[in-house]
Amino acid sequence: MKRITAEQVHALKLAELGLTGKSAALTSDEAIAAAFRRAAGLMCPCSPQTLVRAVTGPLESLVEDVSVLAERVEAIMDALLSFGDLIESRELLDEESNRRRVVYAAPPAFVARSSGGVILLGVAPDGLSPLTSDLAGQVEVSKHVRCLPPGRDDLRATLLQLGLLELQVETWLKSPGAEPARQLLARYDALLDQVGASGAIPELVVLDPTKPVRYYRGRWSAPKVLDGRYVGRRKQAYGADLWCYVELRAGEPERFIDLPAAHSRWRGCDDAWRLQMAIDAVRGSPQVVRTTERGEDTLLEVFSPVPMWCRRRWDALGEPVDQRGCLFAYTIPTPEISEELHFAEQMLWITRVA
């Protein structure tokens, strides 16, 4: 039996995740995202919780605070779902229309960038990358995003020959139509008006719009004595909590609808986050972003989750970066930032602050 050092184990595991030569730790966002792809290639279709356990378990002995690790792992899984490496679906569980979340591994694919490079998407079955060793060594990794830089005239043809699917950027970045916040809120209110009384909802939590928009986690609250209509999450017998839009009177639920609604093609969290943004905008306290110019790039700091169709725009245009004091951040080319702020204002009613 050959003994190896901790450093050798670390290097070996990074190599297994396809991060050879990359400056990453096993607990970095890049390594966790790679671990998700590897687990998905072996285990999907499966529940989100199964994937989270598979990724979190081996890392628990490497961190001081397991709860912080669990939060990061779940956030990275959400980023992979938004990005398109993983696909979430709801499957009918029984004859009473109960559904559970199931995660599938998206097939290996790419999206061409305007720079001439490509964004890599999807998961290789059984962890076997379709890329040649030469191309694999050129992959640039930033958090959950993988790119091949420009420089090869035959890059698109080579990837197609290797069996990757090409996704048109317009399809990948498809988003719902723009509409006033009051109009979107009125649509959900009309849906809620159509349902009957619900009775008690055990372990319900809601987003309190009276709490500061710059601290997303701090906005979650038990219903207590709240009155009105709120975005919330409720427990279900199987799987992760469900998103919902609920009417409360003195803290007691009177009626609710689950999200996504029947008419929507988006995930429940995507519809819920956009609905909360509409609620905040109508209340006169819209959600915000902060920008700081850094020469050729501008830092975009975001304080609340955004739907996947917005996140993909910033994944395609910029690079996710670590930044304290916000929920997540991107560097975006400075010439592009005005258009992205306009998009955020039109689609999500977000304003910029200093």
- Reply yes or no on whether the pLDDT at 146 is more than 90: yes
Examine the domain organization and report whether 55 and 145 are in the same domain. Answer: yes
Examine the domain organization and report whether 157 and 186 are in the same domain. Answer: no
- Reply yes or no on whether the pLDDT at 77 is more than 90: yes
Cα gap 320→309, rounded to integer Å = 15
Examine the domain organization and report whether 124 and 227 are in the same domain. Answer: no
- Reply yes or no on whether the pLDDT at 46 is more than 60: yes
- Reply yes or no on whether the pLDDT at 95 is more than 60: no
Which residue would you say has higher pLDDT here, 354 or 76?
Answer: 76
Examine the domain organization and report whether 139 and 199 are in the same domain. Answer: no
Domain boundary among 280, 298, 331: 280
Examine the domain organization and report whether 12 and 36 are in the same domain. Answer: yes
Which residue would you say has higher pLDDT here, 287 or 26?
Answer: 287
Examine the domain organization and report whether 17 and 73 are in the same domain. Answer: yes
Examine the domain organization and report whether 48 and 147 are in the same domain. Answer: yes
Examine the domain organization and report whether 24 and 161 are in the same domain. Answer: yes
Owner of token pair 């639920």: 253
Residue 165 pairs in a beta bridge with 109
What residues make up the domain containing 96?
1-172
Examine the domain organization and report whether 35 and 138 are in the same domain. Answer: yes
Examine the domain organization and report whether 229 and 304 are in the same domain. Answer: no
What's the pLDDT score for residue 60?
A: 87
Does the reported pTM lie above 0.85? no
Examine the domain organization and report whether 151 and 186 are in the same domain. Answer: no
Domain boundary among 219, 253, 280: 280
Examine the domain organization and report whether 188 and 163 are in the same domain. Answer: no
Tokens of 231: 């975005």
What's the pLDDT score for residue 1?
A: 64
Indicate the range of 114-128, 223-237, 305-319 predicted with least confidence: 114-128
**How many separate domains does the chain show?**
3
Residue 164 exposed, middle or buried by CB count within 10 Å (0-12, 13-18, 19+): buried
Domain boundary among 264, 280, 296: 280
